[in-house]
A and B are shown apart, each in its own frame.
Chain A
Amino acid sequence: MVSNWMWQQWLENKLSRNIAYDEIVYGFICATSLEGRTREEYLAEASQIRHQTAGRFNYDDDEIYAKRKTNELYWSNVERRNPDTLILQTANSFLGLRLECAQCHNHPFDRWTQKDFNQFKSFFMMVQFSDPKTGKEYNPSGFKGYGDESVEPGVHWRFKATVLKTPPKLLGGREVPFVEGGPDVRVALWEWMRDAKNPFFAPSFVNRLWAHYLGRGIVNPPDDFNQGNPASNPQLLNWLAQEFIGKKFDIKHVHRLILNSRTYQLSWRPNDSNRLDNKNYSHAKLRRMPAEVLIDSIAQVTGVEYRFGRLPKGRPQRAVGQAMPTVRYSLSRSGYPMKIFGRPDREKTCDCERSNEPSVAQALYLINDQEVLAKLDDTKGRLSQLLRTIKDDRELITELYLTALSRFPEDQELELQLKHVAAADSRDLGMKDVMWSLLNVREFLFIH
């Protein structure tokens, strides 16, 4: 049950140290349990991890798994053991390709044939579980992760000793001969991915970041690079990709490039000539905050946090960065807003799974849900505190605007709110309405 946290922390560890993107990808693609160490060393590590994860979520932020160079969970998690799932996930995550069509037949509007798919798939069939003590091969379904004490903890990867009928072949590239006892073919796969000439690896990453900040990919959907779906601005995409490659896959460099650009900093206000444009970045696109951001924003404005159950030591109760395992099934507690505001299952890689679409359930939640209303009522919350400390109505309303919208109220707004407070049954109730209104205005809900 804690593998989701091991995964999360492994990745956080790499991102926070700004490890080069190609190296992070190496950690997924070329993962081994042993990482070149002896079986004894590996077993010692595995036993330590198992010991620490024995209690549910009794798991520190500063953990052994996070420090590993590679992430074998990429290969071993339940849904990923099937080579078909692995190839789709890898192509989708790191190359921005949707190969689903080619799984069963030639891709109808792209160059990939079913043969390409099957040859590429061979890269993902070259690994095998085995017992590190005896070297005996496992059926993958026998491995249930570190939390399961019924199996040997130290399962590791090694090459299948069978020469596959279909030798691995890079997508649109060369065959990679598989030699028994020879080098890891996955390294050849990785070398091909990170090659400066690879048309997908760097472009798909910069495009994803662009889409994250601008609300729409240069190729859109951002994970659907195909010949029938060209980039809206190929020069821009190419320039970003070259910058990324030139700076040795420095992720923060791309963040800075985008955030410092004039394009990113444009206002949402359209003019007469661009008001119908939604793909050339002529003005900022208004977007509802994603589920986690919205939930954290509500918590921050009201000063009352959401509870996400027991978390690893030192983790704040915060929606962003949560490795929640079962959001989709949870109708209670904080799973409810996560679900209705469209957070996808964590297993899904497809960008289409995150929904920012508005729904009636969302509006009902913000207008009338007990969870939200309780945050306004909370005696330890921000509103209760401000009601006690700020006696002047104008000043209090101004403070609430600053808190929720990071700006001063306009004169007209101030007058309307003052009028409302004056007409309310009490100052407390009136101010509660003011704060409620600020959680429901579009200016709060939308990124602008």
Chain B
Amino acid sequence: MMPKYCDGVSRRDAIKAGVAGAFGLNLASMFQLEAAEAAAASGKNAIFIFLTGGQSHIDTWDMKPDAGEMKGEFESIATNLPELRVCELMPYLAKQADKYAIVRNVSHTQGAHSPGQRYLQTGNQKIPSLEYPDYGAVISKEHQSPRGVPQYVLLPGGGSNSAIYSSGYLGVAHGPFSALGDPNAKGYSVRALATPEGLSKKQIEARQSLLQSVDTKFRNAGLADQELDGMDKSYQKAFDILQSEKVRKAFDIESESANVRDLYGRHTFGQSCLLARRLIEAGTRCVSIYNGGWDTHENNFRELKNTLIPPWDQGLAGLLADLHDRGLLENTIVWCTGEFGRTPKINDKGAGRDHWARAMSMLYAGAGVKGGQIIGETDKTAAEPVGKIYSPDDAAASFFNAIGIDHLKEYHTPDGRPIMITGKGSPIPELFA
């Protein structure tokens, strides 16, 4: 059977149509079809900030001044939302509270890093027989970007950052464009786009045309061969990215004004947030920022105070303010969470807090999320939610809902197993009230 596309054009027809200028097998027609689909898709974008290690909720968003010895070392401060008080180390976020919603009643049972991270990165509990895709992989499948712009970009957010991403059953084709390196470093450049040691644009053009002329084998083979097709498309997209001024400009963080760079803070996390905004402007649909080191089994307070909270506070607050000022927050969801919270009890090992999945806090902002609210509450030591409880599945469903992806949509794994994106959750209604 000939493979057909939505408009009834077969690939053979597409090749016959022969629009000039594409690489190898002529796939320009296919890109046009894709672009048409893209236009129909939602215009919403996503920034997912993952605080790996597990952020202490009781020391940040869910302070308990009356919890006695579990209260911890920090005091709370007022925010621009009367009912919300946050940690004294978060002065920047305290000024942006009208823009975000804090969810305090998410609870689950996966108290180890790997299962917890997979759960919070995918909206599905980890199982041995199937690897679920990260949010960005799903978005890359559902939302298109302009030509030459990668749909899903992964940024290093600093800290001891184990980039534990996977595109799971959606396959490596939906994996992220991974921008290595520290955007706060002088002379920052991206490994895949690097030009100083890499190729100049002119050289790339010359090489592309050389390759086009000599890469003539297998032209007749492709009709039943998806791998070959896929490689052609990948090369075309790769050359597009390499030639794209948009992407290059987006990554040229040094062209940003000093004021704006300072707003986000001169650290890896802050500059990663700034890059995220620049990429969304360029047309990227999902940016994931991995900010690690929150696993504070020892010296919880010292670590939070000296290393973890200040850059996170400044970077995230800068991102929210800047997205808002540029009108981007309307169409961009920002979701910030760890894989779990931390124990209210302070351990004897050395003023640390341990893993605690039964209560955690998350931040959502933008893309239709009603800002300036607190959703849910926990008991007097922030140990468990009181009343309504949401799961990470619900949290993920909310995220997809905000960017116009049906979280119950069914995919087929490579061996044909039908799987919903996140089948067990439903969006948290208060977020969109």
With A98-B129, A329-B162, A360-B234: A286-B218 Cβ-Cβ less than 8 Å: yes
Q: Which residues of B contact A278 (CB under 8 A)?
A: 224-225
In the complex, B172 has a CB within 8 A of chain A: yes
In the complex, A390 has a CB within 8 A of chain B: no
Tell me the B179-213 residues at the A interface (CB within 8 Å): 180, 191-194, 197-199, 203-204, 206-207, 210-211, 213
Q: Look across to chain A and name the residue whose beta carbon is closest to the beta carbon of B189.
A: A370
Q: Which residues of A contact B230 (CB under 8 A)?
A: 357-358
Q: Which stretch (A166-174, A232-240, A439-447) binds chain B? A: A439-447
In the complex, B386 has a CB within 8 A of chain A: no
Q: Look across to chain A and name the residue whose beta carbon is closest to the beta carbon of B150.
A: A360
A437 to B23, CA, bound (A): 13
In the complex, B306 has a CB within 8 A of chain A: no
With A367-B238, A367-B242: A355-B171 Cβ-Cβ less than 8 Å: yes
In the complex, B239 has a CB within 8 A of chain A: yes
Partner of A286, one of B169, B228, B235: B228
A355 to B166, CA, bound (A): 12
With A331-B178, A358-B234: A370-B228 Cβ-Cβ less than 8 Å: no
- B192 & A369 in contact (Cβ 8 Å cutoff): yes
In the complex, A379 has a CB within 8 A of chain B: no
- A437 & B210 in contact (Cβ 8 Å cutoff): yes
In the complex, B7 has a CB within 8 A of chain A: no
With A270-B221, A370-B198: A361-B178 Cβ-Cβ less than 8 Å: yes
Partner of B415, one of A224, A270, A288, A440: A224
With A286-B227, A363-B231: A100-B218 Cβ-Cβ less than 8 Å: no
In the complex, A277 has a CB within 8 A of chain B: yes
Partner of A268, one of B177, B192, B221, B239: B221
In the complex, A221 has a CB within 8 A of chain B: yes
- A side interface size, CB within 8 A: 61
- B171 & A367 in contact (Cβ 8 Å cutoff): no
Q: Which residues of B contact A440 (CB under 8 A)?
A: 211, 215, 235
- A442 & B218 in contact (Cβ 8 Å cutoff): yes
Q: Which residues of B contact A355 (CB under 8 A)?
A: 171-172
With A88-B128, A416-B210, A441-B211: A361-B172 Cβ-Cβ less than 8 Å: yes
Partner of B234, one of A287, A329, A362: A362
In the complex, A436 has a CB within 8 A of chain B: yes
Q: Look across to chain A and name the residue whose beta carbon is closest to the beta carbon of B198.
A: A368
A100 to B131, CA, bound (A): 13
Partner of B215, one of A332, A363, A373, A441: A441
- A329 & B242 in contact (Cβ 8 Å cutoff): no
A357 to B239, CA, bound (A): 18
A356 to B173, CA, bound (A): 10
In the complex, A387 has a CB within 8 A of chain B: no
Q: Which residues of B contact A361 (CB under 8 A)?
A: 172, 175, 177-178, 192
With A355-B171, A358-B227: A446-B415 Cβ-Cβ less than 8 Å: no
- A417 & B214 in contact (Cβ 8 Å cutoff): yes
Tell me the A374-402 residues at the B interface (CB within 8 Å): 374
Q: How far is the CB of A269 from chain B (nearest CB, A)?
A: 7
In the complex, A180 has a CB within 8 A of chain B: no
In the complex, A359 has a CB within 8 A of chain B: yes
In the complex, B24 has a CB within 8 A of chain A: yes
With A361-B177, A446-B218: A329-B210 Cβ-Cβ less than 8 Å: no
Smallest CB-CB A-B distances: 10 pairs: A363-B238, A100-B129, A358-B230, A358-B231, A364-B192, A443-B217, A363-B234, A441-B215, A358-B234, A357-B171
Q: Show 26 A/B contacts (Cβ-Cβ < 8 Å), sorted by A.
A: A88-B129, A100-B129, A221-B414, A221-B415, A224-B415, A270-B221, A275-B223, A341-B172, A352-B414, A359-B172, A359-B234, A360-B173, A360-B234, A361-B172, A362-B231, A363-B237, A368-B193, A370-B198, A420-B206, A424-B206, A433-B207, A436-B207, A440-B211, A441-B211, A441-B214, A442-B228
B: residues with CB less than 8 A from A are 1-2, 24, 127-129, 131, 150, 162-164, 166, 169, 171-173, 175, 177-178, 180, 191-194, 197-199, 203-204, 206-207, 210-211, 213-215, 217-218, 220-221, 223-225, 227-228, 230-231, 233-235, 237-239, 241-242, 413-415
A: residues with CB less than 8 A from B are 84-85, 88, 98, 100, 221, 224, 268-270, 275-278, 285-288, 328-329, 331-332, 340-342, 350, 352-353, 355-365, 367-370, 373-374, 413, 416-417, 420, 424, 433-434, 436-437, 440-443, 445-446, 448
